[in-house]
Structure 1
């Protein structure tokens, strides 16, 4: 199955990168711990066990981490990657996944992918926990999106 040519929409890519970050185990754990820390510091401040400055520091820490994971990291990765500014076509068959543009093509056997995740606008194809490729769902017309989903689910365990 071959998709139509597609480009990346900046807003949707940034949203997909947010999905990537918040689904990472280490980031989830860190966010949970920071939220617990913020709740505990709020409770201690309410019961007058800590000073206002300690509560303020915990609130600033929480706010800074949320800004970093929600805005700064996705925008930095988007800006660094030339991939998101190119025009591609994806091909899926029984043996491999191929991506091509005007300058050439690159294929990967399905065994090179470790996992697959789906977000509202993209299929995330992971080589490992940090290396991945995102394919817009818009690249597949009509029922081809459902076919692509089936192929990804079958081929990527």
Structure 2
């Protein structure tokens, strides 16, 4: 059906990884919980119910959480993954998706993917809630993106 060659752009991959983290239910829950804790601590501090150390502690927890999800985790994953530094060829076939680089190749049947999410720069093809493959939109000609989107939505049926 369709084949394309591409390399990844580090800033865009980091943004895609951030998008992945922020869309996870467990991460959303933790962020909401830490934000609520920070708001309650700030309110209690304002009314002199807790010491400044409690407020400072909740603020530090909030900053650490945001820094880890926004900078640390995406950079660690980017550095550990060779895939983001390779030149890849991806082929969309009728029954499977085929990926190859200088080191070898791999194919997955469309049924191996559990879902697909579209972010500003990528199509995220999920195997499960933690494993995914990203395909940059800028690898396609602008007039082909809607066609690719349609193919991916037809081929990748979400669970449930």
Q: Name the TM tier (shorter chain).
A: over 0.9
What is the Cα deviation at residue 138 of structure 1?
1.4
Instruction: Please name the residue that 1:118 is paired with.
Output: 118
Structure 2 residue 65 is matched with structure 1 residue 89? no
Q: Alignment partner of 1:143: what SS?
A: helix
Q: How many residues align?
A: 157
Of 16-25 and 100-109, deviating more is 100-109
Of 9-18 and 144-153, deviating more is 144-153
TM-score by length of 1: 0.96
Q: Alignment partner of 1:36: what SS?
A: helix
**Structure with more contact order per residue of length (Cα contacts < 8 Å, sep ≥ 6):** 1
Instruction: Please name the residue that 2:98 is paired with.
Output: 98
Structure 2 residue 18 is matched with structure 1 residue 18? yes
Mapping for residues 39-54 of structure 1, pairs under 5 Å: 39-54=39-54
Structure 2 residue 84 is matched with structure 1 residue 80? no
- Unaligned 5+ segments in structure 2 are none
Of 92-101 and 47-56, deviating more is 92-101
What is the Cα deviation at residue 21 of structure 1?
0.3
Instruction: Please name the residue that 1:31 is paired with.
Output: 31
What is the Cα deviation at residue 44 of structure 1?
0.3
Output the CA distance in 2 between the equivalents of 1:78 and 1:29: 24
- Unaligned 5+ segments in structure 1 are none
What is the Cα deviation at residue 105 of structure 1?
2.1
